[in-house]
Amino acid sequence: MSEPADRMRRRIEEIFGDDPSTTADERADYGAADERDSADPDRWFTENRPPHHGG
């Protein structure tokens, strides 16, 4: 990389932090929360249903 590009990359990392090489959904270590939600994938939606939608 050229000097200005390196400087810009370092400045962006300073502001926003490191850019991970993988995102959370690409990793295999989802943990217990994912296992719990796989039993009822609509759980979040039913728990957060607005009152005007019945329920």
Whether this prediction's pTM lies above 0.85 is answered by no
- Supply the DSSP string of the chain, one letter for each residue: --HHHHHHHHHHHHHH----SS-GGGSS---HHHHHHHH-TTHHHHHT--GGG--
Q: What is the pLDDT of residue 37?
A: 58
Q: List the chain pLDDT tens, one digit each, 55 residues.
A: 588 999 998 898 889 887 777 777 777 765 555 555 567 888 888 888 998 987 6
